[in-house]
Amino acid sequence: MTGKSARFGMTPPTVEDIVAPGFSTPWDAPMLPPFPFKFRDCAIMTLYWRTDPDAIDFLLPPPLKRTSDIACAHIYQMNDPDWIGPYGEMNVMVGAELPGKAKGGYSPYLALSSDGGVVHGREVHGQPKKLGNPQIEARGDLLVGTVERNGIDVLTGTMAYKQHAVEASAIKPHFDFATNINLKAIDHIDGRPAIRQLTSRALTDVVIHEAWAGPCTVELRPNAQLPLFRLPVLEPLEGFFWRADFTLIAGTILHDYLETSQ
C-alpha cells in the first residue's frame, strides 16, 4: 500500500474512510462534495403562478399536505459553487407541510446542467433531478428564463429587467421555499427498498445582494420526461430576480416510510 501511495500521491481508503460520512466514489476522484459547500454569486429568477390545487395534490406524496394553490420555479445561474463549477439549475416547488414537523416547499421537478449536481441531489437529498439546460438571459429590457430538455423549452418565463427594487424578505410571499422538502427513494442492488424518506434541507449563511420584483409570465410546454405541464398556469403572478451567496449543509429526515410501515 505504501508503494501505491507514493506512486499516485494519495493514500488508499481504509474501511473507516469508506464508512465515514461524505465518502464518494470513485475514491480517487470523488463525484460528490462533502458538506458544507458554498455557492457564490448566484443569479436567481423566481416565478410564481396560480395552478390547479388537484394538480398539486396529485404530485404530493403522503402524508404531505398542500398549503396553497401556488407553484413557483427557481431558475439559477450557479456562477461559482465549490467542487461542481458553474452550471444552471431549475427547481419547481409547491407549498407543502408535514403536519406538526415541517413546512416549506416540496420539489416535484428539478433540472440542471451539471452531472455532479444531478448525482448529489438524487443520492443525498433525494431530489428528482434530471439533466437539462436552464438559463437566464437579459434581452434588452426583458429578463428571460428558459429550461430546455430534449430540445424542448419546457419552461419560458419573463419579467422586466430590474424595474422595482425590493427587500430580501419580499421574495417569499407565498411559502418559505428556503425549507426544501423531497422524497428520497433508493433501492438495494437486489431490488429491495433501501431508503424511502421525506427529507428536508435549509440553506445557511444566506446573503442576498439585490432583489427586484415585477409581474411575470410563465409558459410550460409538454415533455413526458420533464412534465412541468402537470402544474398548469392558471394565473401568472409575480416574478423576482435576485443575487445571493449561500452554503449548503446536511439536512434532516422528516419521515421514514420503512420504519413507520414495520
Q: What is the CATH number of the domain that holds 199?
A: 2.40.400.10
pLDDT of 9 higher than 80: no
On whether residue 144 sits in a domain, the answer given is: yes
Structural domain for 108, as ranges: 37-260
Q: Which position among 101, 129, 130, 162 bears the catalytic label?
A: 129
Verify whether residue 129 is a known catalytic residue: yes
On whether residue 139 sits in a domain, the answer given is: yes
- Residue 205 sits at φ, ψ, to 5 deg, of 50, 40
Give the three-state DSSP class for 55.
helix
Count of C-beta atoms within a 10 Å radius of residue 167: 9
Count of C-beta atoms within a 10 Å radius of residue 8: 10
pLDDT, tens digit, 9 for 90 and up, residues 91-137: 999 999 999 999 999 999 999 999 999 999 999 999 999 999 999 99
Measured distance CA(48)–CA(43) in Å, rounded = 17
Q: What percent of the chain has pLDDT over 70?
A: 96
Any idea what DSSP says for residue 82? T
On whether residue 138 sits in a domain, the answer given is: yes
On whether residue 32 sits in a domain, the answer given is: no
Measured distance CA(135)–CA(88) in Å, rounded = 6
Number of domains in the chain: 1
